[in-house]
Structure 1
Amino acid sequence: MTASGLTGAPLTKVWLAGLSFASALLGAFGWRRILRLQLVPNLAHSHEAWRLLTSLMAFPTLSELLTALVLLYQLRAVERLMGTRRFAAFLAVSGLVGQTLTLVGMRLARVNAVAAGPYVLLFACVHQFHLLVPHAYYIRVAGVMVADKWTVYAAAACLLAPRLKVAALLPAAAGVAASMAYSADVAGLKRWRLPLWAGHFAQRWIMPLVSATPGAGATRRASPMVDVAPEQVELVAGMFPDADREHIASVLRMVGNDTSRAAAVLLDS
């Protein structure tokens, strides 16, 4: 059994809300132009390096936004397995490396502009989902047996489908490549973490904006241990005494209570 909703994935919850708000705000005020990432004139002539960040903030169309929200909601499992602090570091690393690779790809492919939106981050998460999240069962879809994870890949394909051209494929491929570099721990990327002050700031000022009432939150915090045997948690905790028990329970739940695989995930963290 897996946790329902966004339990154990606070950063994904913030990302969902922020992506929706930013897309709506930019659309309402006609500011979608800041999402555009072009070599000429934005970067080469105007030196607007800030567009490397703003291009990841939102989507310019409602259809892209809705598809991305569906995909992102399914990708919440990645944060549950990584833990929020490591997931935040992964997004930061993927954004930096992915955008750099996007620029390199634009120069090599002689593409002046890429599709606006956080394609780099989403497809980096899709790659981690493929690596970390085990399938629970197989089902038949259109006569073909596929794992239950197929809905994530279908949502990712739907996000790319309207823009099946280099402008969208480049940042998506760059995101996957950045995730691969992270998994391979190139230049120690996997060991980097956001500073503690950033976590404290987010917990104090950002999380209250998207959190439910304290009572509901307390209920959600108490629920992660329900479907995992305490002895399994303690068994894994014996190997990782510094790991949070709630995080161990979340990992066990995501890997189907397989203690060996849970230990591998925690060791990789």
Structure 2
Amino acid sequence: MQVPGFTHTPISQFFVYYLVIAAVLISVSDYKYLFHIQIIPHLWRWGQWWRVLIWQFSYANTGEVLFASLAVYTLRVVERLWGSRKFASFITYNLIFTSLITPLLLAIIFRPLTLWRMNYLPPGPTPLIFAILAQFHATIPSTYKFRLLLPISPSPPPPEATPSLQVAREESEPSITLSDKFYVYIVAAQLAVSQFPGSLVGAAVGWIAGYAWRAEVVPWGRWRWPIWLFEKRGVNDGGSGYGELRRMARGEGEQGTGVQQVGEGQEQGDGDGRRPLSTQILDQFRGGF
């Protein structure tokens, strides 16, 4: 069972709140023009290299803030899997790395390939979110899968078809198999194409940077924040914090027992217990299964 809300994910919680608050502040203060990058004139002509350091600090429009917040909220399971220290170290490293490498690749590689037409890099931490998405893709297994039938069937089934023949016919029809992670990729894809082609470049760089960090092929990839910043010392356990872990384990065990009993009751009373597709989609963003 997935833990609802921001339980044990303080970094993800701060990230979501920051995305919303930062977007509101720069919108109210009318400083949106400071966060995007144009290779010409911002960098080559005016020498505003400070933009390289701040262009991922905030999005410039409401749609991107919405989809980014949904994506980060769903990707909070990565922090829950790794722990806040490793997750914060990963975010810090990739924020610096992608902030520097993305404008460089745009100026040196993508502009010549497009005959100097590609010049704009939109603001917002899209590369960072895609770096987290790469870890989500590699480490988080899918909970369930479903088949989506393609509407290219040549003819409807005959009315006298038996249930077994109907099932065999459905299995033979053209379809694609998707998982519950599909909804996360849809939200992230919206970010990637929101300000095409610059946003797509940032998304690709973030995805590659995330996998490069995972494969430990980037310099200083093992860097971590000091552990004392994330320690939680218990009062009755000599400062080790193991008492809290034991309480969490007992609480999850009791919660799991209750869920099992409820599940058995549902099996006895509700049959297969299947949920509508709309409920499954909403559960991806409210933490319930």
Please, what TM-score do these two structures have when normalized by structure 1?
Answer: 0.71
Identify if the C-alpha distance between structure 1 residues 112 and 222 changes in structure 2 by more than 3 Å, giving closer, same or farther. farther
Q: Which residue of 1 aligns with 2:91?
A: 91
Give the SS at the match of 1:139. strand
- C-alpha separation between the residues in 2 aligned to 1:76 and 1:195? 21
The equivalent residue for 2:225 is 194
Q: Letter of the aligned partner of 1:6 in structure 2? A: F
Equivalent residue for 2:131? 124
SS in 1 for 2:59: coil
Matched residue count: 211
CA, structure 1 residues 176+191, in 2 after alignment: closer, same or farther (shift >3 Å)?
same
Matched, 1:166 2:223: no
Post-superposition offset of 1:187: 4.3
Q: Is the alpha carbon distance of 1:224 and 1:35 closer, same or farther for their aligned partners in structure 2, counting shifts above 3 Å?
A: farther
The one-letter amino acid of 1:19's match is L
Q: Computing the radius of gyration over CA atoms, which structure comes out larger, 1 or 2?
A: 2
Give runs of aligned pairs for residues 62-81 of structure 1, distance below 5 A.
62-81=62-81
SS state at 1:59 partner: coil
State the alpha-carbon separation in 2 of the partners of residues 224 and 45 from structure 1.
59
Cα deviations by residue, 1:64-113 (Å, 9 ceiling, x for unpaired): 11111111100101111121111111111212222233123212111322
RMSD across aligned positions (CA): 2.7
Q: Does the 8 A contact of 2:52 with 2:103 survive in 1?
A: no
1:136 CA drift (Å): 1.4
Q: Which is helix-richer, 1 or 2?
A: 1
CA distance in 2 between counterparts of 1:224 and 1:5 reads: 18
Indicate which of 109, 112, 120 corresponds to 2:119. 112
Q: 2:142 aligns with which of 127, 130, 135?
A: 135
Q: Distance in 1 between matches of 2:253 and 2:213?
A: 30
1:153 paired residue number = 185
Task: Quickly say closer, same or farther: Cα 1:222–1:23, change in 2 above 3 A.
Answer: farther
Amino acid in structure 1 at the alignment position of 2:204: A
Change over 3 Å in CA distance of 1:40–1:94 after alignment to 2:
same
- TM-score (normalizing by structure 2): 0.66
- Secondary structure of 2:194 counterpart: helix
Distance 1:88 1:145 in 2: 34
Please give the alpha-carbon distance, in whole angstroms, between the structure 1 residues aligned to 2:144 and 2:127.
29
Gaps of 5+ in 2: 112-117, 151-175, 233-243, 255-289
